[in-house]
Amino acid sequence: MIAYHCFEQYNAELSEFAEVELLVQLLSILYWKRAGNEMKLFTEDKHLRTLEKFRMHYLYSDIDTEAIKDFPDNIDKKRFWAIAKVRFHSIIPEDEYCILDTDMFLRRVPELDKSMSFIAAHPESHLSPSGLEFYPGLESILSGEKLEDLKQ
């Protein structure tokens, strides 16, 4: 099964944790490929240059830096920095694929029930250095009524 990393490097400068983040991205690629699967990337030119600097771009079977240019730039990326995965989901051509966070590596690829289509989400259990959660809570996206519907 093909997996995609969908990533936008929002800041001009790399974070203080860039080497660790890239190392985990490397693990994500290698563990996925170790199982005989293919890994592709949607990103922008800035992140591609970062990958080229560390010679990681060779690990992807395809890197698309053009598709991102077609998306409107009116999303608050400081608040919804995972929006790249949502955007690229709509243009992935394969019927069966996975979108993996660049910081997710699977030591063993799970058996997926291919008769179902599904969306999976996960909460982050850690906080940023400033004490803020990395992802906004659902209450900042959905109305109270919609939140109650989800609980039922």
pLDDT of residue 58: 96
pLDDT of residue 123: 56
Dmax (CA) for the chain in angstroms is: 49
Tokens of 134: 């990395």
For the entire predicted model, the pTM comes to 0.76
Quote the CA–CA distance of 142 and 120 in Å, as a whole number.
Answer: 17
Tokens of 68: 């991102």
pLDDT of residue 128: 58
Instruction: Give the dihedral sign, CA 44/46/47/52.
Output: positive
Q: pLDDT tens digits for 35-81? A: 888 999 999 999 999 999 999 999 999 999 999 888 877 877 777 76
Q: pLDDT tens digits for 6-46? A: 988 877 788 888 899 999 999 999 999 998 889 999 999 99
Contact 7, 41 (CB under 8 A): yes
Q: pLDDT tens digits for 116-129? A: 666 565 555 555 56
pLDDT of residue 46: 92
